[in-house]
Amino acid sequence: MNTRTMLAGLAAATALIAPAAAQAKDIDVSASLTGATDYVWRGVSQSNGDPAVFASVNVSAGGFYAGAGTENVDFAGIKQEYDLWGGYILPLGKAKLDIGVVRYGYVDAPVKIDTLEVKAGLSGNVGKLGLGVTAYHTGNYFGSSQPATYVEGSASLPLTDKLSASAAFGHQQVDNLPDYDTWNAGLTYEVLKGAKVDVRYHDTGTNAFGKLGDARLVGSFTIGF
C-alpha cells in the first residue's frame, strides 16, 4: 500500500463520515494535511531527514474521539506508517484529562513492530499560558518485547492573535534499552483560517540514533478543514 492509496482511503473515510456528522450537531469531523521538511517523532527522524507528508481525519462527540492518519517514513525498508487513536476527554474544572490509546502501524514491515500505547494527559491554562503533561505506556515497544514509558511536559503561549510559541520536554524509558531525553521549541503562525506554518527546533540527549537523533530545524505547513 503506497502513500496515494493511504491518502485516498482517508479521503474516502472522511466522505463517508461527513454526511452523517452534518445531521448530528454533537458530532464533529475534522481533517488535516501537513507537509514538513522532516518527520521527527520523540526527537528522532523517521524519514531519514527527508520531507514527509501527513494526512489525518478525526471524529469527536460528547468527549469521545477517534481518528486515523498516515505519513511516509524511511527506515528498515519501511516507507509508510499509519496511526489509529481514540479516547475520552474529561473536564476537570478548568483542566482536562485525556485518556486514550494510540496504535502505530507499518506497511510491509520486514518484522512486526506495530505498537499499541495507552496514554493519560492532563492539560489546562494559567492565564494565557497553556500547560500539559502526558504519559504513554506500552508492554511491547516496537517489537522489542520490552515495556516502555514516555512522559512529556509541554507549554504554549499566544504572542499575538496569529503567532504562538510552544515547547516540550520528554523522557523515553525502555526496559533493558537506553533511556533518553528529547525536547523541542518553536513558533506557529496562522497564515489564514485553517492554515498554519510552524518552525521548530528538535534535539535529544543521546547519540544512540546517530545522525537521526541530532539537533535539527523542521518547518511545516498544515491545512485543516
Q: Contact 185/169 with Cβ under 8 angstroms?
A: no
User: DSSP string of 83-110?
Assistant: EEEEEEEEEETTEEEEEEEEEEEETT-S
In this prediction, residue 195 carries a pLDDT of: 98
Q: Which long-range contacts does 157-161 make (Cβ < 8 Å, 24+ apart)?
A: 157/128, 157/129, 157/130, 158/128, 159/187
Per-residue CA distances from 86 to 22, 27, 29, 100, 183 (Å): 21, 15, 14, 6, 25
Indicate the class that CATH gives domain 3-224: mainly beta
Q: Which long-range contacts does 201-207 make (Cβ < 8 Å, 24+ apart)?
A: 202/40, 202/43, 203/43, 204/43, 204/44, 204/180, 205/180, 205/181, 206/178, 206/180, 206/181
In this prediction, residue 22 carries a pLDDT of: 46
Rounded to an integer, what distance in angstroms lies between the CA atom of residue 142 and that of residue 69? 18
Rounded to an integer, what distance in angstroms lies between the CA atom of residue 31 and that of residue 52? 17
In this prediction, residue 26 carries a pLDDT of: 84
pLDDT digits (tens, 9 = 90+) for 129-174: 999 999 999 999 999 999 999 999 999 999 999 999 999 999 999 9
| pLDDT < 70 positions in the chain | 1-25
φ, ψ dihedrals at 4, nearest 5°: -60, -40
Rounded to an integer, what distance in angstroms lies between the CA atom of residue 31 and that of residue 97? 23
Domain locations along the chain: 3-224
Which residue in 40, 28, 7, 87 sits closest to 220, CA to CA?
Answer: 40
